[in-house]
Amino acid sequence: MLPATTAQAAANTGGGNPHADPLPASALTTEDFKRILPRTDMRSDADADSHPRAHAFLDNGQAMPFDAVPIAKNPLASDAIAIGAKSCVACHALENVQASHSLHVQAFRAGAAGTGAAAACESCHGPGSAHAKYPTKPGLIIAFTRDAKTPIDTQAGVCLACHKGGARQDWIGSVHQQHQLGCTDCHNPMAKLSAEGVLANNSINQTCAACHQDIRNKFNRRSHMPLPEGQMSCADCHNPHGTLTADLIKTDTVNETCYACHAEERGPFLFEHAPVRENCLACHDPHGSNQQALLTLPVPMLCQQCHTMTGHPNDLLTRAGLATGPAPDERLIGRACLTCHANIHGSNNPSGSRFHK
């Protein structure tokens, strides 16, 4: 993974604009990569300047730029020293071919003070002298696999040295971190398996389904969010890198997450339906259901979970009330309770106290 010896690019003719007249990939130089590298926390420069830390109580400093990466420290080989990429490629020729396309390696080739282009491999894997001397002894190089001797926290620490902040500011203490997941359980920066995000699978959904197969199976039910159709992904509602909520939802509450798309249900309403305001999950399963509209139970049985002991909701409803039964009951036919109580999420009508209007 040594610097490519490309010809110097032609002079920029964009009138002083460094981003004008982009060069073809084959002509990109080290200086070009320095110019186009994104922020490692994936935020815009304007957002980072105006909100240096999303959480005021976190003081972790700025994310490390791609082209200023130091050589990672390996606690299992503290005396090892850097030996340069030439020594690595002598054995790891295949890995060199696989990784040469990646933004990570191109960024490391851009180099920085104290590392330089020769440190491309050791920026992530740590100094390699001990590993080169005893190549079969585990732990002497930082390895990013489940069966490696390198602790998961060390693996994640290498990645977070650059990628801290942004969407990853709550990684420490998150559900995934507590269950000893490493970055490379979901990402593979050495191969081009996904269109974005250097994922370990073809898409975000497939990557999540590798563990959460029970949730993925729910999307096979007749009523489901358009995730199998490719119109949304798990990351539209969840932040797998950690949030302040147990379910890793991207907002403070379930309802706020739902309102991001279903704004018409937000209210405020003149007449509120208490369970709706409390939690959308009281009635809906967002991942999939065999009932209409992602409901957890068929109506009216769902309504009778709360509405009992008073009036007609307390009536025993049986097969006899079906349309084909001896005593058809409109509460079991068509939209059931919703035939009359149409605005069940809330009503702004002065006569809508029972959500009829």
DSSP-assigned states of every residue in 104-129 = HHHHHHH--TTT-GGGTTHHHH---H
CA 140 to chain centroid: 31
Tokens of 6: 């490309």
Same domain for 127 and 55, yes or no, is yes
Among the candidates 152, 185, 217, a domain finishes at 152
User: Smallest Cα–Cα separation from 77: which of 36, 32, 133, 4?
Assistant: 133
Strand ranges inside the chain, DSSP E: 271-272, 346-347
User: What string of pLDDT tens digits covers the 357 residues of the chain?
Assistant: 444 433 333 333 444 444 344 434 445 565 665 555 555 555 555 655 655 544 433 444 555 666 567 788 999 999 999 888 888 989 998 888 888 777 787 777 765 444 555 677 888 999 999 999 999 999 999 999 888 899 999 999 999 888 887 788 899 999 999 999 999 999 998 888 888 888 999 999 999 999 999 999 999 999 999 999 999 999 999 999 999 888 999 999 999 999 999 999 998 999 999 999 999 999 999 999 999 999 999 888 898 888 887 777 777 778 788 888 888 888 888 888 888 899 999 999 998 888 987
Residue type, 165: G
Q: Is the pTM of this model over 0.85?
A: no
Provide the β-strand partners of residue 238.
Answer: 249
Same domain as 292, residue 331: yes
339 and 308 together in one domain: yes
Among the listed residues 187, 174, 184, 85, the one whose alpha carbon sits nearest the alpha carbon of residue 143: 184
Q: State whether 286 and 242 are in the same domain.
A: no
Residue 199 lies in a domain: yes
Measure the CA–CA gap between 168 and 243, rounded to whole angstroms.
Answer: 8
237 with 289, same domain? Answer: no
CB-CB contact of 35 with 18 (8 Å)? yes
DSSP 133: H
Residue 229's alpha-carbon distances to 205, 219, 232, 308, in angstroms, are 11, 10, 8, 39
The reply to whether 147 and 78 lie within a common domain is: yes
- Shared-domain flag, residues 245 and 307: no
Cα–Cα distance between 146 and 155 in angstroms, integer? Answer: 10
Residues 146 and 221 placed together within one structural domain of the fold: no
Q: Quick check: is 218 in a domain? A: yes
In a domain, 9, yes or no: no
Rounded to 10 degrees, what is the CA torsion of 324, 329, 335, 339?
150
Name the CA radius of gyration of the chain, rounded: 28
User: Which tokens belong to 1?
Assistant: 């993974």
Cα–Cα dist 216/18, whole Å: 45
Regarding whether 222 and 266 lie in a shared domain, the answer is no
| CB-neighbour burial class of residue 309 (10 A; exposed 0-12, middle 13-18, buried 19+) | exposed
> Within this chain, do residues 231 and 310 fall inside the same structural domain, yes or no?
no
The Cβ of residue 135 has, within 10 Å, a number of other Cβ atoms equal to 11
Q: Identify the pLDDT of residue 66.
A: 61
Omega within 30 of 0 (cis) for the link into 138:
no
Tell me the pairing of strands 271-272 and 346-347.
antiparallel
Both 58 and 112 in one domain: the answer is yes
Task: Please check whether residue 143 is in contact with residue 159, taking contact to mean a CB–CB distance below 8 angstroms.
Answer: no
Cα 203 from chain centre: 11
Q: Which of 133, 158, 135, 155 is nearest to 146 (CA)?
A: 155
CB 169 within 8 Å of CB 54: yes
In a domain? residue 6: no
CA 207 to each of CA 70, 172, 177, 223: distance values in angstroms, whole numbers, following the listed order: 29, 21, 16, 23
Which conformational region is residue 45 in: left (phi greater than 0), alpha (psi within -120 to 50 degrees), or beta?
alpha
Q: Which of 250, 278, 299 is the last residue of a domain?
A: 250
| CA count, 13 A, side-chain hemisphere, 2 | 12
Pick from 293, 297, 291, 300: which is nearest to 322 by CA? 300
Domain that holds residue 296: 256-347
The verdict on residue 7 lying in a domain is: no
Q: How far apart are CA 249 and CA 87, in angstroms?
A: 44
Asked which of 119, 152, 185 is the last residue of a domain, the reply is 152
Query: Count of domains in the chain?
Result: 3
CA–CA separation, 143 vs 138, rounded Å?
9
| Cβ–Cβ under 8 Å, residues 129 and 83 | yes
Considering the domain boundaries, does residue 129 fall inside one?
yes
Reported as type and span, the H/E element at residue 161 is helix 152-163
The answer to the question of residue 353 being in a domain is no
38 and 136, same domain (yes or no): yes
Q: Is residue 162 part of a domain?
A: no
